[in-house]
Amino acid sequence: MILRSLRMSLRFILPLALVLGLFAYIVVPLLDNITLRWYVRDLDSRAELLAGTLRPSLTEYLPAKDTARIDDLFQGATRDERLIALGFCDNAGKLVYKTAQFPASIGCWTTPTSGGLYKSLAQLPQGQVHLSETPVMSDAQQLGRLVLVQDMSFVERRNTDTKRFIFAFLAVLAVLISLMTVFVAHLSWRGWLAAVKDVLRGELLSKKNVAAPTDATPVPIIAPAPAEMQPLIGDLRELLQEYHLERQGENNGWTSEWTPEKLRGLLEADLAGDQVLVVSNREPYIHTKTEEGGIKVQRPASGLVTAVEAVMRACSGTWIAHGAGSADRETVDKLDHVPVPPDNPSYTLRRVWLTEEEEQGYYYGFANEGMWPLCHIAHVRPVFRSSDWDQYVKVNRRFADAVIAEAKTDNPVVLVQDYHFALLPRMVREALPKATIITFWHIPWPNSESFGICPWREEILDGLLGSTILGFHTPFHRKNFLETVDRYLETRIEPEASTISYGGEMTQVEDYPISIAWPDEDPNLPDVATCRAEIRAAIGVPADHLLGIGVDRLDYTKGIVERFQAVERMLEQQPGMVGHFTFIQIAAPSRASLDEYQSFDTRVRKMVERINRRFGSGDYVPILLKAEHHGQDALQRFFRASEVCMVTSLHDGMNLVAKEFIAAREDEMGVLVLSQFTGAARELHEALIINPYHIEQGAEALYRGLVMPPVEQRERMKSMRARVKHFNVYRWAGRMLLDASRLRQRDKVMTKIDAHRRLSRRKGV
C-alpha cells in the first residue's frame, strides 16, 4: 500500500520537478544577464565620476610633466578597492603614465565601436575587469586619454550567491508544492472514488430493486456526485448497463457478442417483451410487376433498410412504411399487412398509401428538396414551400395514426427512422403517453445557424422532442442538435447527462453509431477467388486486371463526381495503370423526378463518357457505370472481386457501404478509401482517410490501395473486421433499447416515489 501511494505521489512530483528544473535552466542565465547589465552600467557611472574628479588635477600636472604628482594622484585613486589600475595615454597612443598594477596586455585600450553593453568588459588572467576611457581636455585641446581598470570579481561572487539562493528557493518551493499537490490529489482521489462507489452502489441497487418492484422496495438515496465527476457519470452508467446485460446474457447462455438472440432476450428481460413498431418512409421489401405479368421482390439500396431490417428479423414486430411498389397493393391483406421476408417471414410489413400529391409534397418536396440539402453540406440550396410543409404535416399524421392503430398496448416500443418523420414522435406521444419512442436521425444534423434556414424549425424540434430517446451517428451531430434546441426553444438542457427537459418531459439525446449485421456464412456465395474470376469474366477483362468499386445511390452528397475526378487524376499520374485498371460504379437511381437529381445524373454520365474517351481503347473502359439496382448477393460478389472500395461522400451520417465491404472480405484483403466527412471515418481508422474535395489526395490514395502490399492489407482489414463484427447493428439497437429500459425503470421508480409521498401525505392528514 505504501509503495503504491509512493508511486502515485511520484506521478505528481516528478513532472513538477522537471518543470521547475527547466524553469531554473531558463531563468538563471537570464537573471545573470540582467544583473550583469546592472553592474556594467554602475561601473560606467563610477568610472565617469572618478575621471571627473581626476581631470582638474591632470590638466594642471600634464602640461608641466610633473611625474611625481601624477603618480601620487594615481596611487591615491587606486586605494578604492574596486579600482585596480589607472593609465594615461597621449594622443599618439603611447602609455605615458600608469600605476604599478596596470595590466601590460591592455596598453592604450580604445573603446570598441561594436559589442553593445559588454564592449567595456575584458577577461584577464586575474579575472574579468571593466575598462573605460575618458578624454582629458585643456582649453578645448585634448591632452590624451585616461584609462581606468575596475575589478569585476565581486560580480561573480554575488552571482554565485544569487544562484544558490534561487536554487534553494526553487527546491523549497518544489517540496512545498509537491506536498500540497499530493495532499490535494489524495483528497480528490478519495472523493472521486467515493462518488464512483456511490454511483455503482446506486445503479446496482436500483437495478436489483427495479427488476422485481414491490411496494416495500426501498429507494436508494445516493449523494450527488461532485461537479467534476458529472461528465463521467453518464458513461459510467452506460458501462454498468452493458455489464448488467452481459452478465444476464451469461446466465442465459448467450455469447459475449451482440446477436439476434441477445437482442430478443433484452426485449423480454428489460422491456417485458413489449411490442416493437418501426416507422420509416422506405419499405424493406418492394413488390413490383414484371414485363411478363408476374411479381418480383426487391430490396432497396438503403443503409437504413440494411441496418433496421436485421433488427426487425431479430425482434419481430411490425414495420410501417410507404407502399410505393407497383404490385404492393396486390400483395397485402385487408389490413394492408404482408409477412416478410418472403422466403422466411419473421415480422409484418404494414403499408401506408399516399396520393401522388402527398408523395410529391412530403417526400420529394419538403423532405428531399428542403431537409436533405439543409442537413448535408453539399453546396445545394434547400427549397422550402408552404404547400410541401402542409403535405409533410399531413403524412406525418397519417403514419402516426397507423402507429396508434397497430399498437396492441399503451406502451409499445416505437422506432422512428429518419428526417421524414420529425413530427411523428410528438403526435404519437400525445396519443400514447406511456410509449417508448426512439427516434434515430440517419443523416447529419447541421449547426444551429444553418438549421435556422428552415421556416418551421420550432415545429421540427418540438416534434423530435416528443421522443424518449433521440439518436445520432456521431457526438458532433448530437452536439449540434443540443445547440440548436438551446438556440430556438425554451428548454432546460443538461449537457453532462445529454438530456433536454421540454414541456414537462425529458428526452435523452445520444450518439449511437449505426452498423450492419455481421453476415453468416452463405454456402451459395462463392469464395473470393471465384468471385474475382466471375466478375472479371463478366466485364471482359483479364484475370490480373485491377478493380475498384463504388456503391451508392445516385446522389449529389455521395461524392461520385469527385471520385471519378480522382480516378482520372490517378490515370494521369500513373499511365501504367491505363488498360490495367477499371473502376466499377454501382449507382442506384434515386429521386429521379427532382431537377437537381436529373441534372446530377446527366453530369455523372457525361463525365464517365469523357474519361472513357480519353483513356479507353477498344473494349477497355476505365470507368464502368452501372446505374441500376443490385441485390445484396450481387454487391457481395463485387466487393469480394475488387482491390479497392472508394467511399467519397461529401457529407454522410455514417455510410454502411464501407462496413459492408469490410464484412465481405473474409480473405482479409482489399483496401478501403474513406472520406473524412463520413461517420464511419471516426471508427475505421485503418482505412485510407481522404478529403474527397482534394482530388490529388484521392488519386494518391486510390493508387496506394491498388499497390499496397498484402501484409499491410491484412493488418488493416483484420483490425477493421474485428471492430465491425463486434460493434454490429444488434449492439446499435441494443444500446438504444438499454437506454430506453433504463429510462422506463427510472420513470417507474419515480412513480413509486410519488405514490409513497401521496400516501404519506394522506396518512399525515
Q: 217 and 87 in one domain?
A: no
Query: What pLDDT is recorded for position 598?
Result: 94
Q: 412 and 366 in one domain?
A: yes
Q: 545 and 452 in one domain?
A: no
Q: Which residue range forms the structural domain that includes residue 77?
A: 2-151
Enumerate residue ranges in the chain where pLDDT < 50: 1, 203-223, 228, 231, 245, 247-255, 765
Taking the C-alpha atoms of residue 102 and residue 129, their distance in angstroms, rounded to an integer, is 12
The secondary structure of residue 319, as a DSSP letter, is E
- With 0-12 / 13-18 / 19 or more C-beta atoms within 10 angstroms meaning exposed / middle / buried, residue 141 is exposed
Query: What pLDDT is recorded for position 250?
Result: 42
Residue 146 sits in a domain whose CATH number is 3.30.450.20
- In 3D space, the residue among 505, 555, 515, 421 whose CA is nearest the CA of residue 750 turns out to be 505
Residue 386 within any structural domain of the chain: yes
Last residue of one domain, picked from the residues 511, 536, 569: 511
Residue 253 within any structural domain of the chain: no
Cell numbers given for 328:
404492393
Q: 106 and 28 in one domain?
A: yes
Q: 433 and 389 in one domain?
A: yes
Cell numbers given for 195:
462518488
Residue 609 within any structural domain of the chain: yes
Query: What pLDDT is recorded for position 219?
Result: 38
CA–CA–CA angle 575, 581, 584 (5° rounding): 135
What does each C-alpha distance from 470 to 119, 249, 298, 301, 456 come to in angstroms?
75, 26, 30, 24, 19
Query: What pLDDT is recorded for position 240?
Result: 58
Residue 596 sits in a domain whose CATH number is 3.40.50.2000
Residue 254 within any structural domain of the chain: no
In tens, the pLDDT along 84-103 reads 888 888 888 888 888 888 88
Q: Which stretches does DSSP call E strand in 5-82?
A: none
In tens, the pLDDT along 342-388 reads 888 999 999 999 999 999 999 999 999 999 999 998 889 999 999 99
Cell numbers given for 696:
490529388
Query: What pLDDT is recorded for position 574?
Result: 96
Q: 121 and 228 in one domain?
A: no
Q: 650 and 598 in one domain?
A: yes
Last residue of one domain, picked from the residues 464, 480, 511: 511
575: preceding bond cis by omega (within 30 degrees): no
The answer to whether residues 606 and 510 touch, using CB atoms and an 8 Å cutoff, is no
Q: 168 and 77 in one domain?
A: no
Taking the C-alpha atoms of residue 630 and residue 650, their distance in angstroms, rounded to an integer, is 23
Helix (H, G, I), strand (E, B) or coil at 505: strand
Helix or strand (DSSP H, E) at 109: none
Last residue of one domain, picked from the residues 104, 129, 151: 151
Q: 420 and 291 in one domain?
A: yes
By DSSP bridging, strand 469-472 and strand 492-494 are unpaired
Q: 290 and 227 in one domain?
A: no
Residue 335 within any structural domain of the chain: yes
Helix (H, G, I), strand (E, B) or coil at 288: strand
Looking at the 3D structure of the chain, how many domains does it have? 4
Residue type (1 letter), 511 = D
Helix (H, G, I), strand (E, B) or coil at 646: strand
Residue 734 within any structural domain of the chain: no
Residue 754 within any structural domain of the chain: no
Helix (H, G, I), strand (E, B) or coil at 254: coil
The full length of the chain comes to 765
Q: 706 and 663 in one domain?
A: yes
Taking the C-alpha atoms of residue 446 and residue 471, their distance in angstroms, rounded to an integer, is 14
Q: 276 and 405 in one domain?
A: yes
In tens, the pLDDT along 679-723 reads 999 999 999 999 999 999 999 999 999 999 999 999 999 999 999
Residue 135 within any structural domain of the chain: yes
